Every structure is written in structure tokens, then in C-alpha cells.
């Protein structure tokens, strides 16, 4: 567990409140997240004196000196390789061959494609942008209104952080000292439920409005052809998840195997050349260069917060509002959704997990259940109007008005919210395997 601390008797004063207000101001002015967190940590350590500033460098190094973090650039590289080799398109083609004959088949296959790609790439935003470029025009051609097609892609991409293998679970497991492999197992049912809820919502809306009405019939021959064409693409998630769940690989080792398999397939099929490798490495390095500094600077900030008892103070504040565990869960849900509206998963996890975890323990929430609850709640926030991150991403990709996309996304927000409430109040959904 990275974030722990020694109990103190310090009271929350302006030496603590001031740096937290600074953090809020920096976020409002769109200062890079890692800079905001780093400056806040520096000011809080200086103002409170709970840790000598000479230990800041050691804390920064400790924040990234973790075996599990090796998986992050590897999964990012795998996602990039899937696009460059054309394997992601083959997966979408297979999904369309499987579901395309249904009345809402194209929409269903798009959701499946979004979920798969986003989970491997490690970023909802990346999945939203990549899959949106490949599927948006297809959806419009099938009869979907442009803004609705954009909202569907945005909703489908939210499943990226929910379905294993997901970088989000690696990060929260590292922060709270919980096995990432255990979280991967626990996330299967919740992730599938969210995916199904989005599909069902699209089917219902299709029935009401008649957006898509495919005249094609299912062809077993075409399905086999699509399956054969996508055989190598399908082998990648099977190798990753099969290796993890069987105990052959750790999540980090699975990430390395995924990169190797994807590159071998690309080189063997001629869809990838050595000349493309530097660009792949550079693209993944840029994204990793955003994630890792956030994790690094989050550790000294979290240590300072723990030492001045901010998590305990927050828990006491919530208890002052209500002693009802159910209301407490709803308050936590509201915080998570709002946070998901304005920031990507990584900064939200490193900020919220250490603060909210003690509160969850106080109300008797299982540790793994809390992790699943936090991640799925953030997923809802990603498409919650008017600030949902995925809404802005897909709007920039498609050119559709952010307001029109936001309006179309509301049914998906409600359907995902229902699943999150089930996760929050029915522990067995995330602890079924224990």
C-alpha cells in the first residue's frame, strides 16, 4: 500500500485549507494536473511541516518505483499497435458480422468495439477518439442521427476503464495495496453489466425512434470469414485474460506478452514495419509521460494529507451530515461522478482513493467493492453533461455540437447509473468470486 500515514493530532487550519484551495484554483485555470498536485504538495509540506522538504525527492521516486506501473506503457503500446496494424478494425468487422443483422446490430457492435479498445489502450478518451473515427460514419450511414451516433460512441468508450485489463485497476490496486489480478476478476461482472446496460438502452431507443433497421440477414459463412480474418486480433485479449485468470501471468507480465504478440502479428502480416515502431514508442511515451508524473507527485501529497488527517476529517464531516451508510454511499457517488466529469481516471484515482477509502471502510464497504464502485462511478462521470470528458473528445472528432451530443447521452447516463447503484448496494456483484 503506497498511501499510509502516521496518526497525528493536527487540526485542519489554513495551513491545510490554503493548499487545497490552491489546488482547486490551479485546476480551474487548467494548469497541468501533475503541476497542480506537485505545487499543492510542496506548499502543504512547507506550511504544515509534517515532513521535511528534503524528503520530497525520495517521495517522488517512491511514487513511481513500483512493479505494477510497468504495465501502463505496455498496455498503451498495445493499444497503439492494434490501430496501426489494423487489428482493431478487424475486431469491429467481426462484431458487425456477429450483430449486424440485428435491428440495432451496428450500434451493438460499436459498443463492443469501444469497450474492447478502450480497455486495452488504457484510456477512455483514447478509445473514444480511435473507435469514433472508425465507426461514426458507419453509424450515420445506418440511419443514426449524427449527434446520437457520437453519444453512443462516447458511452461505449466509458466501459474502457471498467473491463479488464484496465490500467485504472492497476493504479487503484497499487495505491490501496490490493492485488490488481483480484480486481480484474472482480470487475468482470460489473463491467459486463455496464456494457449490457448501454446495449439495451440503444436497443430501446432504436425501437422507439427507428434509427437503425438493418435489412441484411445473418450469414454464417460471412461470420466464419470475419472470425477467420479477426483470429489474430481475438487471440490478444484471450491470451491476456486467460493468462491472468489462470495464474500464468501477472497483469504486468500479461501486458508484456500482449505487446510482443501484437508486434509479432503486425510484422508477420506485413501491416507493421520497423519504420513505424519509433512513432509507436513516441505516441505511447507521450501518454505515459502524462500518467506517471501524476502518480509520482501524488505520493507526497497523499502522505501530507494522511499526516494532517484529511481523510479522517472528511469522514468526520460526512458523519456530521448523516450517519446513514446508504446516504453516505450516495454522497460518495455524487463526488465521484462530478470528479469524473472534469478529469481523466488517473488523477481522480490518485486524489480520491486515499481520501474516500477510510470512509468506505467505516460504513462497512468491502475493499474490492469500493474500488469497483469508484471506477464505475468515474465512468458515469465521463459522459455526464455538461462537462463529461468523453463528450468533448467525441465532439472534437466528429464536429457535432457538444450540447447536442450531451442531450443524446442522458439515457446512457441513467442506465449506467442504475448499474453503479447495484454495485454500491449489492456487494455480491463485485465480490461473487471471494
Q: Residue 216 burial (CB < 10 Å; 0-12/13-18/19+)?
A: exposed
Which among 373, 378, 364 has a CA at the least distance from the CA of 325? 364
pLDDT attached to residue 104: 73
The residues, ordered by sequence, that sit 6+ positions from 238 with a Cβ below 8 Å of its Cβ are none
Q: Give the total residue count for the chain.
A: 434
As a whole number of angstroms, the distance between CA 205 and CA 211 comes to: 8
Instruction: Check: CB of residue 388 under 8 Å from CB of residue 417.
Output: no
**pTM of the complete model:** 0.81
As a whole number of angstroms, the distance between CA 275 and CA 295 comes to: 32
Encode the chain (434 residues) as per-residue pLDDT tens digits: 544 443 434 456 777 788 888 888 887 787 887 888 888 888 888 887 777 777 777 777 776 777 767 877 887 788 778 878 888 778 777 877 777 666 677 788 788 777 666 666 655 666 666 667 777 887 888 888 889 888 888 888 787 778 887 888 888 988 888 988 889 889 989 988 998 999 899 989 888 888 876 656 667 788 888 888 888 888 887 887 788 778 888 878 888 888 898 899 889 888 888 888 888 888 778 777 777 787 788 778 777 777 777 777 777 778 778 889 999 999 999 989 988 887 778 888 888 898 899 889 989 999 999 999 999 999 898 888 877 778 887 887 788 888 888 889 999 999 999 999 999 999 999 988 77
CA angle 142, 146, 150 (to 5 degrees): 100
Instruction: Check: CB of residue 142 under 8 Å from CB of residue 212.
Output: yes
- Cell numbers found for residue 228: 477467420
Q: Specify the DSSP class assigned to residue 216.
A: -
CA-CA-CA-CA torsion sign (251, 252, 253, 259): positive
As a whole number of angstroms, the distance between CA 361 and CA 359 comes to: 5
Peptide bond into 142 cis (omega under 30): no
Host H or E run for residue 184 = helix 180-186
- Cell numbers found for residue 262: 501484437
Instruction: Check: CB of residue 174 under 8 Å from CB of residue 2.
Output: yes
Amino acid at each position: 500500500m503506497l498511501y499510509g500515514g502516521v496518526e497525528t493530532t493536527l487540526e485542519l487550519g489554513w495551513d491545510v485549507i490554503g493548499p487545497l484551495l490552491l489546488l482547486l484554483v490551479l485546476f480551474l485555470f487548467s494548469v497541468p494536473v501533475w503541476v497542480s498536485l506537485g505545487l499543492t504538495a510542496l506548499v502543504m509540506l512547507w506550511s504544515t511541516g509534517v515532513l521535511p522538504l528534503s524528503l520530497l525527492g525520495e517521495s517522488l521516486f517512491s511514487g513511481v518505483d513500483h512493479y505494477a506501473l510497468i504495465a501502463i506503457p505496455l498496455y498503451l503500446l498495445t493499444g497503439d499497435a492494434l490501430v496501426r496494424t489494423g487489428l482493431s478494425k478487424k475486431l469491429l468487422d467481426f462484431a458487425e458480422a456477429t450483430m449486424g443483422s440485428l435491428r440495432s446490430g451496428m450500434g451493438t457492435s460499436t459498443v463492443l468495439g469501444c469497450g474492447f479498445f478502450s480497455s486495452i489502450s488504457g484510456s477512455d478518451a483514447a478509445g473514444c477518439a480511435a473507435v469514433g473515427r472508425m465507426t461514426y460514419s458507419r453509424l450515420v450511414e445506418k440511419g443514426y442521427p449524427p449527434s446520437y451516433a457520437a453519444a453512443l460512441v462516447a458511452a461505449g468508450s466509458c466501459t474502457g476503464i471498467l473491463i479488464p485489463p484496465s490500467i485504472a485497476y492497476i493504479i487503484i490496486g497499487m495505491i490501496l495495496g490490493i492485488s490488481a489480478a483480484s480486481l480484474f476478476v472482480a470487475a468482470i461482472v460489473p463491467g459486463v453489466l455496464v456494457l449490457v446496460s448501454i446495449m439495451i438502452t440503444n436497443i430501446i431507443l432504436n425501437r422507439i425512434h427507428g434509427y437503425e433497421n438493418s435489412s441484411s440477414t445473418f450469414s454464417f459463412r460471412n461470420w466464419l470469414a470475419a472470425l477467420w480474418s479477426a483470429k489474430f486480433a481475438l487471440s490478444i485479449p484471450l491470451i491476456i485474460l486467460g493468462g491472468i485468470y489462470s495464474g500464468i501471468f501477472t497483469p504486468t507480465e500479461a501486458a508484456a506478452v500482449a505487446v510482443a504478440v501484437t508486434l509479432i502479428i503486425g510484422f508477420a502480416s506485413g501491416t507493421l514495419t520497423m519504420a513505424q515502431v519509433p512513432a509507436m514508442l513516441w505516441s505511447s511515451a507521450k501518454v505515459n509521460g502524462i500518467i506517471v508524473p501524476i502518480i509520482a507527485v501524488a505520493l507526497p501529497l497523499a502522505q501530507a494529507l494522511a499526516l494532517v488527517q484529511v481523510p479522517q476529517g472528511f469522514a468526520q464531516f460526512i458523519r456530521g451530515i448523516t450517519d446513514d451508510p446508504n446516504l453516505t454511499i450516495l454522497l460518495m457517488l455524487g463526488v465521484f461522478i462530478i470528479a469524473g466529469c472534469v478529469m481523466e481516471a488517473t488523477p481522480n484515482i490518485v486524489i480520491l482513493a486515499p481520501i474516500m477509502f477510510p470512509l468506505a471502510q467505516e460504513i462497512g464497504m468491502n475493499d474490492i467493492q469500493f474500488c469497483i464502485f469508484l471506477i464505475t462511478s468515474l465512468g458515469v462521470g465521463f459522459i455526464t453533461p455538461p462537462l463529461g470528458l468523453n463528450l468533448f473528445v467525441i465532439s472534437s472528432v466528429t464536429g457535432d455540437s457538444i450540447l447536442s451530443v450531451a442531450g443524446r447521452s442522458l439515457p446512457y447516463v441513467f442506465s449506467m447509473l442504475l448499474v453503479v447503484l447495484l454495485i454500491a448496494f449489492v456487494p455480491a456483484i463485485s465480490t461473487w468470486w471471494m
